[in-house]
Amino acid sequence: MLTLYHQKSVTHCDGISRRNCLRVGSLGLGGLTLSSLLKAEARRVESRDRSVVIIYLPGGPTQHETFDPKPHAPAEIRGSFRPIQTRIPGTQFCELLPKLSATADKFSVVRTLVGMENRHESFQCYTGRPGGRSEDNEPGGGWPTFGSLVSKLLGPGVNGTIPYIDASPKMNYPPYNNNGIHLQGKPSWPGFTGYEHVPFIVEGEVRSNLVLNGIDLSRLENRRELLSTLGRIEQQIETGGMDDYQQQAFEMLTSNGLAEALDLEKEPQATRDLYGQVQLTDPSFGGAPQNPQHLLLTRRLIEAGVRCVSVAFGAWDWHANREGSIEYLSKKYLPVFDHALSVFLQDLDERGLLETTTVIVWGEFGRTPRINAKGGRDHWPGTQSVLVAGGGIQGGRIVGESDRVGGIPSERPVHVQELFATLYRNLGIDTTHATVSDLNGRPQYLVDENRQPVRELYS
């Protein structure tokens, strides 16, 4: 337990006020150090660092009812919904996505993603690789997530902000959570980057144990007073009274910008209303609710200077073995997705954040071309559609075409590692040279087979 003390209070024999303290319990934080906090405070940040937002759609969304409709295919393939014209000439989306269709010039869609396995786990979307099984041939320590590698390579964000935050709710199906749990139950956190580079989990124990008792936040803004507290904490560290994770907790709490970002009550009510309210998903899916406020929180974290934010949205395993058919599920959940995502992208754009923030929206695989006997679509790693925007990516691009039934690429398959190379590029990381050593001391490249960024997204 870490305690940050208020000096102007009645003290006990240990010189500590039991009332005026700020306490933090168990930790799951990004890679900050005490020295980096002081250095960040000393330097003036002249321009925003770049950021990445990974919006994970647990369960794998259907490409047919979203960004790759097949209106000329047989009924058992095309489904119940009509396509509608988008802002991109000659490009259609599903009619249940009218707001995204109307703003399609602000983002691009890859319709031919390949390289995913038929595995219900977020690990693939956060690492770009399969893991947890002997045949995956992981390096010593296991693969880290994208955010962990960014934290390792780039360190703290603007003004010393924690570089990597997970804004997702806790989900009942463990492999959906951003914690490296695989289908076989094997955990892989934190990979070979080390525990200091796992994400700070907004709805984890740290957030619930964050308690302000009588501390005026303006005192934390006064760095002169803070330095004296830092000196005492540093002395405690030197005498072995505080471990690495407690140090990180202290540094996180002294970032008042992050504390402000986590408080949605600071946001105007009109903006919160614009994003919309939560729609719960059926508990049997084990996924996330559709909570637009998580996207608003994500925007606030990006504004605060966080380098990488991951957030889960919805539950997309639409076999029709729970809650209803794909027709029913599409009508219920796609309008909320359409509204929340379009508002989020518009908000980033209007605030000038989309220029420096890359957004990727995807699940672990696509869905079968043919609707099953129950009225749903099953797992399909043959291809899926992925929305990407910002950070230098041009809007209004459609990359790749799937075949006539939406099952496999007919032209320009895009490997998942090409998209990861794109994300790294947008952060200024050169994947042809950057490496991080695994626990066996072997340098590991960030992407395999020298995969390059998706060039069509920049021209």
Backbone angles phi, psi at 24, to 5 degrees: -130, 135
End-to-end CA distance of the chain: 51
Q: What residue spans define the domains of the chain?
A: 1-30+203-261, 48-198+276-457
* pLDDT at residue 348 is higher than 80: yes
* pLDDT at residue 3 is higher than 70: no
Q: Is 212 exposed, middle or buried (0-12, 13-18, 19+ CB in 10 A)?
A: middle
Give the other-Cβ count within 10 Å of 408's Cβ.
14
Q: Is 277 exposed, middle or buried (0-12, 13-18, 19+ CB in 10 A)?
A: exposed
Where helices occur in 360-440 by DSSP H, the ranges are: 416-426
With a CB cutoff of 8 Å and minimum separation 6, the contacts of 238 are none
Q: 82-113 in b/e burial notation, b at 16+ Cβ within 10 A?
A: ebeebebeebbbbbbbbbbbbbbebbbbbbbb
Average pLDDT, the chain: 84
What pLDDT score was predicted for residue 41? 38
> Which comes out higher in pLDDT, residue 215 or 113?
113
Q: Which helix (H) or strand (E) holds 56?
A: strand 51-56
What pLDDT score was predicted for residue 283? 97
What pLDDT score was predicted for residue 218? 46
Poorest-confidence range of 132-136, 339-343, 378-382, 414-418? 132-136
Q: Note whether 86 and 104 are within 8 A (CB).
A: yes
Q: Which helix (H) or strand (E) holds 304?
A: helix 292-304
**Strongest mean pLDDT among 35-44, 206-215, 249-258:** 249-258
Q: Report DSSP state, residue 49.
A: P
* pLDDT at residue 347 is higher than 70: yes
Q: Given the structure tokens 């959940």, which residue do they identify?
A: 333
At the topology level, CATH places domain 48-198+276-457 in Alkaline Phosphatase, subunit A (3.40.720)
Mean pLDDT of 164-183: 94
* Beta pairing, strands 409-411 & 401-402: antiparallel
Mean pLDDT of 226-247: 54
Closest to 118 (Cα-Cα) out of 398, 401, 368: 368
* pLDDT at residue 26 is higher than 90: no
What pLDDT score was predicted for residue 184? 86
What pLDDT score was predicted for residue 372? 98
% of the chain exceeding 70 in pLDDT:
78
- Residue 203: pLDDT band (50, 70, 90) is confident
Q: Given the structure tokens 């006539």, which residue do they identify?
A: 404
> Which comes out higher in pLDDT, residue 436 or 32?
436
What pLDDT score was predicted for residue 228? 52
What pLDDT score was predicted for residue 61? 98
